[in-house]
Amino acid sequence: MSWLVTGGAGYIGSHVVVALLEAGMEPVVIDDLSSGFARFVPDGVPLVEASLLDTATITATLRDHRVEGVIHLAGFKYAGVSVQRPLHTYSQNVTGTISLLGAMVETGVDTLVFSSSAATYGTPDVDLVTEATPTHPESPYGESKLIGEWLIADVARAHRLRHTSLRYFNVVGSGSPGLYDTSPHNLFPLVFDALVAGRTPRINGDDYPTPDGTTVRDYVHVADLAHSHVVAARRLAAGESLEPVYNLGSGDGSSVRQIMDTIREVTQIDFVPEIAPRRAGDPAQIVASGKLARRDLEWEMRHDLRSMVSSAWEARQAAG
Q: What is the pLDDT of residue 177?
A: 81
Identify the residue with better confidence: 283 or 229: 229
Q: What is the pLDDT of residue 205?
A: 93
β-pairing, 170-172 vs 219-221, is parallel
Residue 266 three-state SS? helix
Query: Per-residue confidence at 183, pLDDT binned at 50, 70, 90?
Result: confident
b/e map 73-111, b = 16+ CB within 10 Å? bbbbbbbebbeeeeeebbbbbbebbbbbbebbbebebbb
Mean pLDDT of the chain: 94
pLDDT digits over 26-73, tens only?
999 999 999 999 999 999 999 999 999 999 999 999 999 999 999 999
Helix (H) or strand (E) holding 22: helix 11-22
Report the helix count and the strand count for the chain, using DSSP H and E: 11, 15
Q: Are 116 and 145 in contact (CB under 8 A)?
A: yes
159: pLDDT strictly greater than 90: yes
Gap between the Cα atoms of 195 and 262, Å rounded: 14
- Give domain 172-218+250-319's CATH number out of 3.40.50.300, 3.90.25.10, 1.10.3720.10, 3.30.70.270: 3.90.25.10
**Taking the model in full, what pTM does it have?**
0.95
Q: What is the pLDDT of residue 263?
A: 96
- Average pLDDT score over residue span 173-193: 90
Q: What is the pLDDT of residue 223?
A: 97
Q: What is the pLDDT of residue 125?
A: 85
Query: Per-residue confidence at 78, pLDDT binned at 50, 70, 90?
Result: confident
Q: Where are the strands (E) in the chain, listed by range? A: 2-6, 27-31, 47-49, 67-72, 111-115, 128-129, 162-168, 170-172, 202-204, 216-217, 219-221, 245-248, 254-255, 274-276, 285-288
Instruction: Give the number of C-alpha atoms closer than 13 A to the C-alpha of residue 25, restricted to the C-beta side.
Output: 28
pLDDT digits over 93-115, tens only?
999 999 999 999 999 999 999 99
Query: Per-residue confidence at 281, pLDDT binned at 50, 70, 90?
Result: low
300: pLDDT strictly greater than 90: yes
Query: Per-residue confidence at 184, pLDDT binned at 50, 70, 90?
Result: confident
- Average pLDDT score over residue span 185-200: 92
Q: Where are the strands (E) in 205-278, listed by range? A: 216-217, 219-221, 245-248, 254-255, 274-276
Q: Who's near 210: CB < 8 A, 6+ residues apart?
A: 216, 255, 284, 285
Q: What is the pLDDT of residue 320?
A: 65
Measured over the CA atoms of residue 112, residue 115, residue 120 and residue 125, the dihedral's sign is: positive
List, by residue number, the catalytic residues.
141
Listed residue (75, 98, 99, 97) closest to 88, CA to CA:
75
Q: How is the chain split into domains, by residue range?
A: 2-169+220-248, 172-218+250-319
CB atoms inside a 10 Å sphere around CB 291: 16
Gap between the Cα atoms of 3 and 27, Å rounded: 5
164: pLDDT strictly greater than 70: yes
- Give domain 2-169+220-248's CATH number out of 3.40.50.2000, 3.40.1160.10, 3.40.718.10, 3.40.50.720: 3.40.50.720
Q: What is the pLDDT of residue 290?
A: 95
Which residues are paired to 115 by β-bridges? 166
- Average pLDDT score over residue span 147-161: 97
Based on its alpha-carbon atoms, the radius of gyration of the chain, rounded to whole angstroms, reads: 19
- Average pLDDT score over residue span 243-267: 95
Identity of residue 185: H
Q: Using alpha carbons only, what angle is made at residue 66 by residues 63 and 67, rounded to the nearest 5 degrees?
A: 95
Q: What is the pLDDT of residue 18?
A: 97
